Amino acid sequence: MNNQAINLPNDDSDCGWYDILPKPTPSKVLKGEQRADYVVVGAGFAGLAAARRLAELKPEATIFLVDAQRVGYGASGRNSGFVIDLPHKMALEHPDPNFKQALLRLNRSAISKLEGLIKTHDIDCQWSHAGKYQGAVGERGVAYLENFVSLMRNLGEPFEMVERDRLQKVLGTSHYTQAVFTPGCYLMQPAALVRGLGDSLPSNVQLFENSPVTGLRKGSSGNWVIELAGASVQTKNLLLTTSIFTQEFGYLKNRLLPVMTFASWTRPLTQAEMDATGITEDWGLTPADHAGTTVRMTKDRRLIIRNSYQHVPKYGQSVNDDLRDKVRAKHRVSMLLRYPHLANVPFTHTWGGSYAISRNFTNFFGKLDEGVYASACDNGVGAAWGTIGGTLLADSVVGSDSSLLNDIRHVSGMPSLNPPEPFLGMGVRTRIRWAAWNSRSEL
């Protein structure tokens, strides 16, 4: 329990995904003294899924979903728009095949759930079953690809090797030596998807935006009291779907690493610019070397470059304009290495997004305290893990059971403890710099 000041999100105002959306309707702010059967804090993928599932399971219950910002403005609306079915590299190397199969079932259930909601509610978010390329530039990247292929064969999953010439016909660049294509990934516009999920919540979910939580305490009646500026809400059931901010409520302290990754994108390319490079629409490429560069071409022809990682102990407050300018310049170099013909095409937006990772690459799911539950630490797969984690957290809170609930309990656990500061910050910064240096040929 934490009744001290809570450090709030402080995201930049330059997220392209959010900026191109229509102006949202006025937000509903939580006011006065309230009571609710369930309170979900954090309206990203996990919070939206948890609130929706609670409403389905408990249609007569009063459910509050509270966020410090507008839906889609935070981390869930700032990723690169991949919904990935395959486990990430660390999980793929897990020795237990049942562990990996459970992750696959969970991720694919999340994709199916999202696709159903998009169709049901006609959410316009550039949803596309485009698959994903994992690309290598030099020898280091190729070695990582060879390991990835071996892991895929052991997993029994389909993949396709794509060599430079054929790859160039899709990406419009000869920068990559080869890639592995996997068919199960979906692409989307994350801010549009998250807002659409928020706009289509069941009627017994009350969504409160621009309502930052400032404190949490146990009331005299045994209920949890969530404090906000000029307001409070009491509940017996508190679901924290707050990712890295979970530690601000006094839980998982010294177990989560706050990391920010950055992206820049261009204006929509003209047909002449598309033709000059031979680039096609609607694809995504992640680097074989995880510290390399992610590249995406959206359905509306915007080229996205994502690389550069920062340890952000104060979240957005750790990043200043000078750092953003340096990141933007680095993105420009990465773009022109791949697309020198686009030298006259500017970036229109550069943004960052904070997320949580753990040193043992373990996601947390379950009970934190009497009446307090969380799905936290997505380790870089927020869209899929958040969706299924939030859904199953609601199941767990109301006492439901399912094979997927067994799966998520099997693959989650307790993130390991971090060293104390200043050693933690020194170690993380050194590791990030070392990874960037080793991976410089893949940037």
Residues 6+ apart with CB under 8 A from 386: 44, 45, 46, 49, 76, 241, 375, 378
What integer pLDDT is reported at residue 367 of this predicted model? 98
pLDDT of 11-49, one tens digit each? 999 999 999 999 999 999 999 999 999 999 999 999 999
Cα separation, 109 vs 390, whole angstroms: 12
CA 12 to chain centroid, in Å, comes to 16
Residues 6+ apart with CB under 8 A from 385: 46, 106, 107, 110, 363, 375, 378, 379
- Write b or e for each residue in 251-265: b if 16 or more Cβ atoms lie within 10 A of its Cβ, otherwise e: bbeebbbbbbbbbbb
Percentage of the residues of the chain whose pLDDT score is greater than 90: 86
Residues 6+ apart with CB under 8 A from 425: 311, 313
pLDDT of 135-174, one tens digit each? 999 999 999 999 999 999 999 999 999 999 999 999 999 9
* Closest among 29, 34, 38 to 56, alpha carbons compared: 38
Residue 219 lies in a domain: yes
Residues 6+ apart with CB under 8 A from 210: 27, 29, 67, 68, 69, 70
What integer pLDDT is reported at residue 5 of this predicted model? 66
Residue 145 lies in a domain: no
Residue 250 lies in a domain: yes
Range of the domain at 407: 1-126+188-443
- What CATH code is carried by the domain that includes residue 288? 3.50.50.60
CA 41, 45, 51, 53 dihedral sign is negative
User: In angstroms, how far is the first alpha carbon of the chain from the final one?
Assistant: 43
Residue 271 lies in a domain: yes
Give me the amino acid identity at 151: L
* Closest among 91, 42, 102 to 374, alpha carbons compared: 42
Residue 283 lies in a domain: yes
Which band of pLDDT confidence, cut at 50, 70 and 90, is reported for residue 320?
very high
Residue 343 has pLDDT above 80, yes or no: yes
Residue 156 lies in a domain: no
Residue 443 lies in a domain: yes
Dig out the tokens for 164 from the structure: 């430079």
Cα separation, 235 vs 230, whole angstroms: 17
Do 135 and 141 contact (CB within 8 A), yes or no? yes
* Closest among 384, 404, 397 to 53, alpha carbons compared: 397
Do 420 and 428 contact (CB within 8 A), yes or no? no
Residue 183 lies in a domain: no
Residue 384 has pLDDT above 70, yes or no: yes
State the pTM of this model. Answer: 0.96
Which band of pLDDT confidence, cut at 50, 70 and 90, is reported for residue 440?
confident
- Write b or e for each residue in 326-336: b if 16 or more Cβ atoms lie within 10 A of its Cβ, otherwise e: ebbebbbebbe
The stretch 327-339 carries a mean pLDDT of 97
Which band of pLDDT confidence, cut at 50, 70 and 90, is reported for residue 4?
low
For residue 328, the 8-state DSSP code is H
Longest dimension (CA), the chain: 69
Number of domains in the chain: 1
Angle at 120 between CA 117 and CA 125, to 5 degrees: 60
Cis peptide before 422 (omega within 30 of 0): yes
